[in-house]
Amino acid sequence: MTEKHRVVVLLSGGLDSAVNLHMAKEKASPMLCLTFDYGQRAARREIEAARRLSKHYGVKHRVIKLDWLKRLTSAPIVRRGARLPHPEEDELDDIEGAARETARLVWVPNRNAVFINIAAAFAEAMDCDGVVVGFNAEEGATFPDNSREFLKAANDALRYSTLKGVKVICYTSRMKKTGIIRLAKRQGVPLNLVWYCYEGGRVPCRRCESCVRFERALRQSNCWNWYRELCKR
Ligand SMILES: [Zn+2]
């Protein structure tokens, strides 16, 4: 039997990262989950969710504070009280319009590349072969640092910047949110532990782009009832 690859998992505590952690547990050996606190509005909620998910899967969890990253931007994603867009469902696929507007307002300079490189440093130091990230095709269309092209480019760079050629792995980069939710249901991923809202309130706001995408995907995949039952536990 071939030995499973040891990996570090980037865990924001959201849907995509939770499903990727689950898949990493199935297909590899996750040695560490990393969550970044860069002052995002939902930081506290995301860290709680990531902690619960790491515990559920029995993987060590570590939070890395990136205060300097927060100070580099004035985007509403890190400024509590600033306006975040509340798109209608039919605007979500308007890549030139509403989706791009949200992308601009939640953009943090070089965020995913910074995250991947920090995780790759941990991976190399811990004798791991890979870094697992939670991308999806839906957001890959508007966020260039969520795209498959970026995934390939990050892999190309890590071949040179790490001695052992740490790889970036994503199990969902070709999937839309609906497919990711279906996969979560099939695999029994505890989505009740996930935090999917850009805001950091007591409950998800149900109006930000991330909430609207999550709820649309639940409905389109006929998984509302399953999710509701999960949340009652
Ligand atoms: Zn929300």
Distance CA 230, CA 233 (A): 6
State pLDDT tens for residues 184-206. 999 999 999 999 999 999 999 99
- Residue 12 Cα to ligand 1 midpoint, Å, equals 15
* Rounded CA separation 81/227 (Å): 29
Which residues fall within 8 angstroms of residue 44, CB to CB, at 6 or more apart?
Answer: 200
Measure 159 CA to ligand 1 centroid, in angstroms: 37
Average pLDDT score, the chain: 93
Q: Quick one: 209 exposed, middle or buried, by C-beta within 10 A (0-12, 13-18, 19+)?
A: buried
Between the CA of 117 and the centroid of ligand 1 the distance, in Å, is 28
Q: What is the pLDDT along the chain (233 residues), one digit of tens a residue?
A: 467 899 999 999 999 999 999 999 999 999 999 999 999 999 999 999 999 999 999 999 999 999 999 888 888 788 877 888 888 888 877 767 777 777 777 788 999 999 999 999 999 999 999 999 999 998 888 888 989 999 999 999 999 999 999 999 999 999 999 999 999 999 999 999 999 999 999 999 999 989 999 999 999 999 999 999 999 98
Q: Give the alpha-carbon dihedral of 43, 55, 194, 113, to 10 degrees.
A: 50
Q: What residue type is 16 in one-letter code?
A: D
Residue from 70, 68, 63 nearest 122 by CA: 63
Q: What is the pLDDT of residues 140-170, one digit of tens each?
A: 888 889 899 999 999 999 999 999 999 999 9
Please tell me the pTM assigned to this model. 0.94
41 CA to middle of ligand 1, Å? Answer: 11
Three-state secondary structure call for residue 63: strand
Q: How far is the CA of 209 from the centre of ligand 1 (A)?
A: 7
Q: How far is the CA of 88 from the centre of ligand 1 (A)?
A: 13
Between the CA of 38 and the centroid of ligand 1 the distance, in Å, is 18
